[in-house]
Amino acid sequence: MEIELPLIVTFIGYLLATLFIGFVAYKATNTLSDYILGGRQLGPAVTALSVGASDMSGWLLLGLPGAIYLSGASAVWIGVGLVIGAFFNWLLVAPRLRAFTEKAGNALTIPEFLENRFADKSHTLRFISAFTILIFFTFYVSSGLVGGAILFEKVFGLDYNTALLIGAIVIVSYTFLGGFLAVSWTDFFQGCLMLIALIILPIVAVNELGGLDKTQEILINANPDYANLFKDFSWIGFVSLMAWGLGYFGQPHILSRFMAIRSVEDIPKSRNIAMAWMVVSLIGALSVGLVGIAYYAGQPLDNPETIFIFLAKAILNPWVAGIIIAAILSAIMSTIDSQLLVCSSVIVEDFYKNFSKRKASENELVWLTRFSLLAIAILASLVALDPQSSVLGLVSYAWAGFGSAFGPTIILALFWSKFNRHGALASIITGAVVVIVWPMLKDLGGLFALYELIPGFLLAFIAGYLVTKATINSDNKSEQIFHSLNN
């Protein structure tokens, strides 16, 4: 791919803008609470787009258009499941989690909230949940780094490992500096850019192909089943795609935004903005994939996940292409920064502060969090060294891990007064273990072909319920805490 000066200039300009935001946020970050949750002062619009951008990531601009390009509109069921799951996450979880985490000792992380919610003096629950977060986030961050490497590789002609290194340095830099405020402010900016890109690119591509009728004609010739929503339909495949929505209830980088919003009263407005952004963005990603089928009908791409990159470069003015391609980096950065921040927060808040006998100052804790972030980024980069890694594959595994381990636990903790620490431990461990083991059994076929999130979520929910019922008389403190938080 030929590199053009306008593309390089606009691309670098975007990167400098994000670093500037990181520096501004650095000046506004004074305490560990500021660095981890922005002092719980996020407005509804910033919260909404920050949730959307950190949720969708490179999957929205690389993974989903690639899946549509490969198989047609039948891959859109993932998006439908996600919209449903996101709506109920905003409706049910967001308001109660915002209120409960503040009342439960002003908890800054999910492990800290669970420990306070269940008065777990042994710290076992906090340790297990923090360890689970670090395991699955390593894979999740790796998926973003793979996406970033693909972007730099295809746009600037770099080899994969060099592209991976540059992408990691860029993404880590502003998060290292500014923490949660930098992440949230850049996510808002990135969410706007992603939305604009997903609206502009398919419209320009359709016009380039000669209009809607001509595009549809080319699509039919290239793939007669392009609009068949039930192509290669199977109930296991359909349920697996729709079940992606279950994952929302357990994603720490999304839940942290609910914890940071200014007030519970801001949540309905934020929810409306977030859902509108999400629906329009998913329609745009679907359109990019379908138009890509038509545009490259005569010369199919080797890597379907590069369709957005090649389409933007082929049909747009180089200056516009630079901005649009920067939107891909926006999507990738907006998730990785959130995940790195959660990981580093867990290391300091849930491991160091909990187990170290040394009393560190706020400034020392902030810097320890920064260097923990750097360590996780290095580990994730090592996992991402395989150039054959799939963005969608890595995301699906990590998404299932969080959804299964924490989804049932968070729901039961917020809505069931009798749920106790024994049940919470059983739920987290069961969900994590099932997600790790289930893919190993997929060759057996049948029910084992289901997306691991489904059995993981259901079995974790059942384990949490049954273990709580079996130990309900040994833990009355949890119920008392629930009622105090619910008042």
Q: pLDDT tens digit string along 243-263?
A: 888 999 999 888 988 998 889
Domain count, the chain: 1
Classify residue 460: in a domain, yes or no: no
Asked whether residue 357 carries a pLDDT value surpassing 50, the answer given is yes
Residue pLDDT, tens place only, 11-63: 778 778 777 776 776 666 666 666 666 667 778 888 888 888 777 766 788 77
- What are φ and ψ of residue 257, in 5° steps? -70, -40
Classify residue 437: in a domain, yes or no: no
Cα-based distances in Å from 353 to 29, 66, 112, 122, 127: 19, 43, 11, 15, 12
Around 218, how many Cα atoms within 13 Å sit in the side-chain half-sphere?
A: 19
Range in 2-6, 279-283, 335-339 the model is least confident about:
2-6
Asked whether residue 197 carries a pLDDT value surpassing 80, the answer given is yes
Classify residue 441: in a domain, yes or no: no
Asked whether residue 447 carries a pLDDT value surpassing 90, the answer given is no
Find the farthest-apart pair of alpha carbons in the chain and give their distance in angstroms, rounded.
71
**Confidence tier at 461 by pLDDT (50, 70, 90):** very high
| Integer Cα distance of 487 and 471 in angstroms | 25
Residue pLDDT, tens place only, 43-56: 888 888 888 877 77
What pTM does this model have? 0.83
pLDDT at 443: 76
CB 253 within 8 A of CB 183: no
CA angle, 84 then 85 then 89, to 5°: 120
pLDDT at 180: 66
* Partners of residue 42 on adjacent β-strands: 261
Cα-based distances in Å from 362 to 26, 353, 368, 369, 397: 14, 11, 10, 11, 35
CB 139 within 8 A of CB 383: yes
**Number of Cβ atoms within 10 Å of the Cβ of 113:** 25
pLDDT at 1: 47
**Confidence tier at 465 by pLDDT (50, 70, 90):** very high
pLDDT at 272: 95
| Integer Cα distance of 307 and 300 in angstroms | 10
Range in 83-92, 340-349, 399-408, 421-430 the model is least confident about:
340-349
DSSP string, 61-125: IIIHHHHHHHH-GGGGHHHHHHHHHHHHIIIIIHHHHHHHHHHTT---SHHHHHHHHTT-TT-HH
| Integer Cα distance of 84 and 71 in angstroms | 23
Tokens read off for 473: 């008389």
Tokens read off for 295: 């545009």
| Integer Cα distance of 453 and 455 in angstroms | 6
Classify residue 417: in a domain, yes or no: no
CATH number at residue 305: 1.20.1730.10
Cα-based distances in Å from 56 to 64, 136, 146, 412: 10, 17, 15, 26
Asked whether residue 448 carries a pLDDT value surpassing 60, the answer given is yes
Residue-range definition of the domain harbouring residue 105: 5-112+139-389
Classify residue 466: in a domain, yes or no: no
Mean pLDDT of the chain: 83
DSSP string, 308-332: HHHHHHHHS-HHHHHHHHHHHHHHH
For the segment 266-289, the average pLDDT, to the nearest whole number, is 93
